[in-house]
Structure 1
Amino acid sequence: MTTATVVKRAYTEQETAAYIGMSRSFLRQSRMEGHRKNRTVAPPFIKIGRTVRYLKEDLDAWLEGHVKRNHLSEGGLNHA
């Protein structure tokens, strides 16, 4: 008998926090407050009824958008 492996596409808040290395409170605050100056923008999320979920492809794109392309000592910051 073959067992199929299910790859999860939508993560809970707790799973998302662990996946991106941020706190659950960061996710909650950024969802409620939206984008604020000098704050890290939260990853996109979806709501199904009262349930909040984060899609893996959105999280991967969000993480990729925060990658520093240059070392700080190589001159200037690369803002994503």
Structure 2
Amino acid sequence: MRRSDSRHPKATAEEVSAFLGIPVATLYQWRHARTGPPAVKIGRHLRFDWTDVETWWDSQKAEQNP
């Protein structure tokens, strides 16, 4: 069964940095430190699943507002 119909486009580092309001370099630093939203490296490029970004965002809010 092909799942391409149910898959959503993956976000680029530029899109996620705009969404979070942070520099792209910060995303790469977070990836190196394993503290940011999960990403997959495709060649030299990071790709993010929007669901993972939103889950990470929600976890950050929960830590700030226990």
Q: Same fold (TM over 0.5)?
A: yes
Which structure shows the higher helix fraction?
A: 2
Q: Deviations over 1:6-37 (max 9, x none)?
A: x95311111010112222121011122x14xx
Structure 2 unaligned blocks of 5 or more: 1-6
Choose between structure 1 and 2 for higher RCO, CA contacts under 8 A separated by at least 6 residues: 2
Larger Rg: 1
Question: Secondary structure of the residue that 1:67 maps to in structure 2?
Answer: helix
What's the counterpart of residue 26 of structure 1?
26
Query: Which portions of structure 1, spanning 4 or more consecutive aligned residues, are displaced by more than 4 angstroms?
Result: 68-71
Question: In percent, how many aligned pairs have the same letter?
Answer: 27
Please show how residues 40-51 of structure 1 align to structure 2 within 5 Å: 41-51=35-45
CA distance in 2, matches of 1:68, 1:60: 12
Tell me how large the CA RMSD over aligned residues is: 2.5
